[in-house]
Amino acid sequence: MNTLPDPAVPTAADLARNRSHLLGVLGHRAAVRRRRRIAAGIAAAAVLLGGATAGVLALGAPPAAVLPEPVAQEPGRQPGSRGTAPLYDAYASIPEHDIERLPGGVNDDILWDARNPYYGYDKLPVVARVHIDSIDGGRTFSPISEQYVFPQTVGKMTVLEVYKGGITPGTQINYSRLGGIVTFDDYWKSLNQAQRDKRLHLNGGKIPAHSKYVQDKLMDDIDIEAGKEYIVLLQPQSSKDGKHREYLIDGLQFGLREVRGTGAGTMALNNETKKWENLGKVVRLP
């Protein structure tokens, strides 16, 4: 299967329509092209952190349509119960040979203050331990922004412990996350006209040969897995009419850290070093 070529640069109007959660300043022209390609999903406008050693991701302000400001809770362990519904993973039923995995962008083009272990905790309004009850599938049209976006994964998760923010342990909530598996038709619809024209031009005026499904995500990001527990960095979101509410799992691989153990023995996986760390290195404990 031939790999699809990199998309063309979206127009300034495309970028302006997609303001958002993740902020990044890109260091070279190729990175700008890739960043603008994914801007429809992460809706970025850039802020550069000081210092040459800053790592890969800068988190941003909430979108225009968000949930009311959560009531602050005392940080620390506020337990809930794990979901009791059967696990569901829509991706598990897709044969591997039917999925074309596109080459992702490079994470270190996006900034994260690696010197501060609490960077994500301090930036996002909600931080919690959750159980992923389901992966309901991928989408390229967001009910939040009411426009086509970079592929996202959506599903349900149960809140187990709350370290920051106004959600209630034991409740099941909707989530979305950048990166996902979608049908090629949905993926094609999500491209702007310039991106489609470039692909058609490179393929003699025809839609490129393709698999039934496409997976697109950033290169160093991880895949979310049903049945696992994670520490997540969350951004509440709501559609303009308030009918659809969900929590964006923000921060790419920095905002989704597998967790094990309980109480003082709780450990979170560092997705960069692949080592388990004490919970106190991820969240501010009392």
Give the span between the Cα atoms of 285 and 279, in whole angstroms.
Answer: 8
SS3 153: strand
pLDDT of residue 42: 38
Cβ neighbors of 70 (< 8 A, separation 6 or more) are 125, 126, 165, 166, 167, 236
pLDDT for 85: 62
> Among residues 239, 223, 234, 254, which one has the least CA distance to residue 21?
234
**CB hemisphere CA count around 173 (13 angstroms):** 27
Query: How far is 33 from 222, CA to CA, in rounded Å?
Result: 22
Residues 6+ apart with CB under 8 A from 192: 10, 11, 14
Cα-based angle 93, 237, 85 (whole degrees, multiple of 5): 40
Enumerate the β-bridge partners of residue 238.
245
User: What is the β-pairing status of strands 172-178 and 256-260?
Assistant: unpaired
CA distance readout (Å), 261 to 6, 164, 244, 249, 277: 42, 19, 33, 22, 11
Domains of the chain, by residue range, sit at: 12-62+73-281
Q: What is the pLDDT of residues 131-183, one digit of tens each?
A: 999 999 999 999 999 999 999 999 999 999 999 999 999 999 999 999 999 99
Q: Is the pLDDT of residue 121 over 50?
A: yes
> For the residues of 92-124, what is the DSSP string, one character each?
GGS-GGGEEEPPPPPGGGS---TT-TTHHHHHS
Mean pLDDT of the chain: 77
Q: How many Cα atoms sit within 13 Å of 269 on the Cβ side?
A: 12
Smallest CA-to-CA distance from 60 within 33, 7, 21, 12 is with: 21
What residue has token string 């349900």?
156
pLDDT of residue 91: 98
Highest mean pLDDT among 56-60, 79-83, 101-105 belongs to 101-105
Percent of the chain scored above 70 by pLDDT?
Answer: 68
